[in-house]
Amino acid sequence: TPVVGVLALQGGVAEHARVIEALGARVTLLRRAAEVSGPDGPRVDALVLPGGESGVIDRLSRRLGLADPLRETIRAGVPTLGTCAGLIMLADRIEDPAPGQHSLGVLDVAVRRNAFGAQIASHEAEFRLDFDASRSGDASAPSLRGALIRAPEIVAVGPEARPLARSGNAIVGAQARRLPITGVAFHPEVSGDPTLHRMLLDQIEARGSVTGRSASRWRRT
Bind-site residues for L-glutamine: 52-54, 113, 149-150
Nearest distance in Å: CB 85, ligand GLN: 4
Residue with Cβ nearer ligand GLN (54 or 214) = 54
Beta pairing class for 91-94 and 107-112: parallel
Residue with Cβ nearer ligand GLN (150 or 162) = 150
| Cβ proximity of 104 and 90 under 8 Å | yes
| Cβ proximity of 61 and 29 under 8 Å | no
Residue with Cβ nearer ligand GLN (113 or 207) = 113
DSSP 128-184: EEPHHHHHHTSS-SSEEEEEESS--EEEEE-TTEEEEEEETTEEEEEEESSS-EEEE
List residues forming the annotated binding site.
52-54, 113, 149-150
Cα angle 193-197-202, degrees, rounded to a multiple of 5: 130
Q: Which of 15, 153, 187, 197 is catalytic?
A: 187
| Cβ proximity of 9 and 31 under 8 Å | yes
Nearest distance in Å: CB 161, ligand GLN: 19
Q: Which of 16, 84, 153, 197 is catalytic?
A: 84
Cα angle 78-14-98, degrees, rounded to a multiple of 5: 75
Nearest distance in Å: CB 88, ligand GLN: 5
Residue with Cβ nearer ligand GLN (74 or 94) = 94
Active site residue 95: no
Nearest distance in Å: CB 187, ligand GLN: 6
Residue with Cβ nearer ligand GLN (116 or 207) = 116
Residues in contact with ligand GLN by CB under 6 A are 51-54, 84-85, 88, 113-114, 149-150
Active site residue 84: yes
Task: Go through 62-71 and write b for each residue having 16 or more CB atoms within 10 A of its CB, e for each that does not.
Answer: eeeebbebbb
Closest CA to 183 of 95, 80, 99, 66: 80
Nearest distance in Å: CB 96, ligand GLN: 9
Q: How far apart are CA 198 and CA 20, in angstroms?
A: 8
Active site residue 16: no
Where in the sequence numbering do the catalytic residues fall? 84, 187, 189
